[in-house]
Structure 1
Amino acid sequence: MSRFLLRRLGIMLLLLVGVSLIVFALFALMPGDYYSSNRQLTPARLAELRELRGLDQPVMLRYLTWLGNAVQGDFGFSLVYNRPVTEVIAPLIWNSFLVAFASFVLTWIIASVTGVLAATKQYSWFDRFVTVMLFASLSIPSFFLGLLLIKFFAVDLQWLPAGSMLDTASTSTGISRVLEIARHMVLPVAILTFLGAGSLTRYFRSGMLEQLRADFVRTARAKGLSERAVVFSHALRNALLPAITLLAFELPALFSGAIITEQIFNWPGIGRIQLESVQTRDYDVVMTITIFLAVLTIVGSFLADILYALADPRVRLVNRTRAS
């Protein structure tokens, strides 16, 4: 198992280098940059600034320079904010992580519970209700749902704040600040959970329906095992395998999907700054955020491999055979 993990870590590093090279090349080949968008600069001053920033050098040389600095924790300089990129996005990443992690946990809990119950109670009223909500989550645009929730819960009922992370001119500290942030998180987390739980519930439901018709489940029932043991100890463990595959894409999808959500609720996260950086051509910021999402995808794939080995004994057997 240790050799398998080391091999996977080596593959992760190679993938990360390859992804960073492709992303850097794509951004470098895009027409224009931050300086060229300023029409007040003379051609001589524009060439001087581009040379000062190294933008006149070949793409490969610029990439190697960026990679060497990135290994040391230097991801470039934001020309818009006039600060290092890490200082710009570090607090915003944690703000986005709060929403993304809460949505991730709720999505998996809701999807697993509703998917299993819908499969065990196929064609019941609960199964039909889950199916309707599933298609609704896949069909309703996030911006429309967000505005609808703001209208209902923030404007009409005034139960929840309409946006931002804290109240205007807030001076709360300690547990009061935590509760205030949690209250502002309710609507964006609810939207991301609703949109994410739909597709995941579909995988759990279809996987459970397939496993409940399998021969080993009939054998377990014939042995006299309780229905609870059959569903949760036998069928669910095998039904988890297709859903584990989605783990590699769940967190990056939540962060990328938060771009629209953060715009609607004025949440100070990396989604907003990523969109603003694309508009202002602040490519160091966009590059860092894109690499961050790539790291999440690669790490998610690594965790999926580990969970596969924990859920399916056959994977561990294959790994031991290869190691020997």
Structure 2
Amino acid sequence: MLQFILRRTLIMIPQIILVSIIVFMLAKAMPGDALTGAFQGNPDVSQEQIQQIREKLGLNDPWYQQYGRWLANAVQGDFGQSYVHKQPVTHLLAGKVENTLLLSFFTLIVIYIIAIPLGIIAGRWTDSWADKVIVTYNYIGFATPVFVFALLMIYFFSFVLGWLPYGSSVDIKIEVGTWDYFVSRARHLILPVLSGSLIATYVTIQYLRNDIIDQKLKDYVKTARAKGVPEGKVYTRHILRNSLLPIAAFLGLEITGLIGGSIFIESIFSYPGLGYLFIQSIQTRDFTVVTALVLISSTAVIVGTMLSDIILSIVDPRIRIE
């Protein structure tokens, strides 16, 4: 196992470097640059002054020189300066990471709480009325865009019923650290979490349902039934144990997918996380922030893939990853 982790870590290094080059080049290909976004519409700053600042910051240097400086600083945890927000990118991201991690964590919990029982029911009692209802729910979740569902949630629970807030992550009038502060944060999380999880459950439900149906036809299940093993134990000790393995293996990818895929939810709910910051940075051409966010997300996907392999090998001792 240790050799596997070391080997995968060494393979990750050239992958991350390649991703960083692609990310940097795509950011440089964006129309304008950070100074264009920072001084756009400001009559007090002339084009000559912008050019002087651009030259001073090295933004007119060849791309490989800019990339070399950026990569050397990024290795040390310095992703540069956000010209729009007037602060280091590292400090800017630190204020958003907690919100995105909270949103992703609770979304993942709700996904599994809903998807695993529904997947088991649909797989065990195939073609029953419960299975048909669950499959219909899956089709609706698959066909409904997340932004449409999120807007419907906002309209119903915020405007019609008035139960839940729909913007920001906490009420700004509440003092930080108080009980009311944590309650406010929890209430602001409910709608984004439900909007992201109720739509995303169809993947886990369908995968678990199909795997249970496939496992029911395996020879070891037929043998267990022929030996007189009770049907409940056939499912819990044999079918479910094997069907849940892929779900556990996908945990790493699920986590990284939620962290990187929170752009729509955070944008719709004006939730101050990494996804919302990403959209703002693109709009203002703050490419130092864009490159940092994309690089972090890409690295998380690579690490998540390795994490999934490790989890699978731990869950199933028969699997040997050497």
What TM-score do you get using the length of structure 2 for normalisation? 0.91
Alignment-mate amino acid for residue 295 of structure 1:
T
1:1-324 equivalences in 2 (<5 Å): 1-36=1-36, 38=40, 44-171=48-175, 173-244=177-248, 246-316=250-320, 319=322
Alignment-mate amino acid for residue 102 of structure 1:
F
Q: Tell me: CA distance 1:21–1:233, structure 2 relative to 1, closer, same or farther (3 Å).
A: farther
CA distance in structure 2 between the aligned counterparts of 1:51 and 1:233, rounded to whole angstroms: 68
CA distance in structure 1 between the aligned counterparts of 2:158 and 2:31, rounded to whole angstroms: 43
Q: Tell me: CA distance 1:206–1:177, structure 2 relative to 1, closer, same or farther (3 Å).
A: same
Alignment-mate amino acid for residue 20 of structure 2:
S
Confirm or deny: 8 A CA contact 1:166 1:181 kept in the other structure: yes
> Once the 2 structures are TM-superposed, how far is the Cα of residue 202 of structure 1 from its aligned partner?
0.8
Alignment-mate amino acid for residue 151 of structure 1:
Y
Alignment-mate amino acid for residue 273 of structure 2:
G
Confirm or deny: 8 A CA contact 1:248 1:298 kept in the other structure: no
Which runs of 5 or more residues in structure 2 are unaligned?
A: none
CA distance in structure 2 between the aligned counterparts of 1:267 and 1:29, rounded to whole angstroms: 28
Alignment-mate amino acid for residue 53 of structure 2:
L
Confirm or deny: 8 A CA contact 1:155 1:162 kept in the other structure: no
Using the TM superposition, name which of 40-49 and 149-158 deviates more: 40-49
Using the TM superposition, name which of 203-212 and 233-242 deviates more: 233-242
Confirm or deny: 8 A CA contact 2:115 2:204 kept in the other structure: yes
Q: Tell me: CA distance 1:283–1:165, structure 2 relative to 1, closer, same or farther (3 Å).
A: same
Using the TM superposition, name which of 274-283 and 239-248 deviates more: 239-248
Per-residue deviation, residues 154-209 of structure 1 (Å, max 9, x unmatched): 22222222322223522363333222211111111001111111112111111111
Confirm or deny: 8 A CA contact 2:281 2:289 kept in the other structure: yes
Using the TM superposition, name which of 214-223 and 204-213 deviates more: 214-223
> Once the 2 structures are TM-superposed, how far is the Cα of residue 130 of structure 1 from its aligned partner?
0.8
Using the TM superposition, name which of 245-254 and 292-301 deviates more: 245-254
CA distance in structure 1 between the aligned counterparts of 2:46 and 2:191, rounded to whole angstroms: 48
Q: Tell me: CA distance 1:124–1:17, structure 2 relative to 1, closer, same or farther (3 Å).
A: same
Alignment-mate amino acid for residue 247 of structure 2:
A
CA distance in structure 2 between the aligned counterparts of 1:30 and 1:101, rounded to whole angstroms: 32
Using the TM superposition, name which of 174-183 and 127-136 deviates more: 174-183
Alignment-mate amino acid for residue 303 of structure 1:
L
Alignment-mate amino acid for residue 2 of structure 2:
S
CA distance in structure 1 between the aligned counterparts of 2:27 and 2:309, rounded to whole angstroms: 31
Alignment-mate amino acid for residue 121 of structure 2:
L
CA distance in structure 2 between the aligned counterparts of 1:58 and 1:229, rounded to whole angstroms: 66
Confirm or deny: 8 A CA contact 2:253 2:308 kept in the other structure: no
Per-residue deviation, residues 218-253 of structure 1 (Å, max 9, x unmatched): 122223333333223322233234435544442333
Taking every aligned residue pair, what percent have the same amino acid on both sides?
37
Q: Tell me: CA distance 1:48–1:209, structure 2 relative to 1, closer, same or farther (3 Å).
A: same
Alignment-mate amino acid for residue 160 of structure 2:
D
Confirm or deny: 8 A CA contact 1:204 1:240 kept in the other structure: yes
Confirm or deny: 8 A CA contact 1:247 1:301 kept in the other structure: no
Alignment-mate amino acid for residue 61 of structure 2:
Q
> Once the 2 structures are TM-superposed, how far is the Cα of residue 42 of structure 1 from its aligned partner?
5.2
Which runs of 5 or more residues in structure 1 are unaligned?
A: 320-324
Q: Tell me: CA distance 1:36–1:148, structure 2 relative to 1, closer, same or farther (3 Å).
A: closer
Q: Tell me: CA distance 1:65–1:228, structure 2 relative to 1, closer, same or farther (3 Å).
A: farther
Per-residue deviation, residues 85-128 of structure 1 (Å, max 9, x unmatched): 01112111111111111001221232222111210011112111
